[in-house]
Amino acid sequence: MSITVHQFPCLSDNYGYLVRDDATGQTASIDTPDAKAILGELEKLGWKLTLILNTHWHADHAGGNEEIKAATGCQIVGPAEVERLSPVDRKVSGGDTVDLGQTRFQVIESGGHTLQHVAFHSAADHAAFVGDTLFALGCGRMFEGTAPQMWDSLQRLAALPDDTRVYCAHEYTASNARFALSVDQDPVLKTRTDEIFDKRSRDEWTVPTTIGAEKATNPFLRAPMLRPDLAPHEAFAAIRTAKDNFKG
Ligand code: ZN
Ligand code: FE
């Protein structure tokens, strides 16, 4: 049992992900940022789409659902909030499982950026698709949820094994790195940000990251260490507010 993940940049800073279950050839698109780009990649690879897995309702994640379903006949699985944009075939929330051939994804509740945001985790493949909840050195803005909700969501992701590859939906890493350096002087962070600026100067991807790397250097996960004077979710809220106001 294994998956092949095909990653490609689309829109201005999104990543598209096509995930193929190697045993059966069944293929899922994680979110649908750009229908034309996704259909083009499927064509190029010769993969047949069976499933869309939506993390949340924003247009750069679910905006391509209808066009892709019309073109492929795939099923759409996601949180109920996606129906603000278009119909969903199966609504899921934390604790559910979704099968793609022989690959099983656990649905992890990860609300905060939007209220019903979910992540999809394949334990066997050490892979998590986290939408706009956790980024390399960052986390999503809280458009709908509260700091305690977002903190709990991040803790559920941080509890996954350290070697879990984290497929974030955006390449925001360089700007996240500039902010991280403004709140954290840790030498391990400095080493990582040097590598990130280097990679981005060559236009290389910094995603996927890993749970281990994020636990070691992500200022949002490290909030209780950075603000030991505050309760953990308050420390997180303080760092999130600082990032919202950061002009770097
Ligand atoms: Zn979003
Ligand atoms: Fe997004």
pLDDT tens sequence across 19-61: 999 999 999 999 999 999 999 999 999 999 999 999 999 999 9
Looking at 21, 34, 113, 125, which residue is catalytic? 113
What separation in Å is there between the alpha carbon of 61 and the centre of ligand 2? 6
Per-position pLDDT tens, the chain of length 248: 699 999 999 999 999 999 999 999 999 999 999 999 999 999 999 999 999 999 999 999 999 999 999 999 999 999 999 999 999 999 999 999 999 999 999 999 999 999 999 999 999 999 999 999 999 999 999 999 999 999 999 999 999 999 999 999 999 999 999 999 999 999 999 999 999 999 999 999 999 999 999 999 999 999 999 999 999 999 999 999 999 999 97
Measured in Å, residue 56 CA sits from the centre of ligand 1 at 7
Please indicate, yes or no, if residue 151 is contained in any of the structural domains.
yes
In a domain, 8, yes or no: yes
Question: What pLDDT is stored for residue 237 in this prediction?
Answer: 98
Catalytic residue among 21, 34, 152, 170: 170
Ion ligand 2: protein residues whose beta carbon lies under 5 Å: 60, 132
Given 132, 152, 184, 233, which residue is catalytic?
132
Helix 173-183 vs helix 187-201: angle between axes, to the nearest 10 degrees?
150
Based on the residue annotation, tell me whether 58 is a catalytic residue of this protein: yes
User: Does residue 219 lie within any of the structural domains?
Assistant: no
Within-domain flag for 239:
no
In a domain, 122, yes or no: yes
pLDDT at 248: 76
- pTM of structure: 0.98
Q: Is residue 158 part of a domain?
A: yes
Amino acid identity, residue 56? H
Q: What is the 228 CA–ligand 2 centroid distance (Å)?
A: 31
For the question of residue 132 being annotated catalytic, the response is yes
Query: Does the annotation count 60 as an active-site position?
Result: yes
Question: Which three-class secondary structure string do you get for 164-180?
Answer: CEEEECECCHHHHHHHH
Task: Tell me, in angstroms, the distance from the centre of ligand 1 to residue 229's CA.
Answer: 31
- Residue 113 known to be catalytic: yes
In this structure, what CATH number is given to the domain that contains residue 142? 3.60.15.10
Number of domains the chain is built from: 1
Distance between CA atoms of residues 208 and 111, nearest Å: 21
What gap in Å lies between CA 173 and CA 179, rounded to an integer?
Answer: 10
Q: Is 89 left (phi over 0), alpha (psi -120 to 50) or beta?
A: alpha
Domain containing 97 equals 3-173
The continuous run of DSSP H or E covering 181 comes out as helix 173-183
pLDDT at 31: 99
User: Cα of 229 to ligand 2 centre, how many Å?
Assistant: 32
121 a catalytic residue: no
| Residue 119 within a domain | yes
Point out the ligand nearest to the CA of residue 168: 2
Looking at the domain assignment, is residue 143 inside a domain?
A: yes
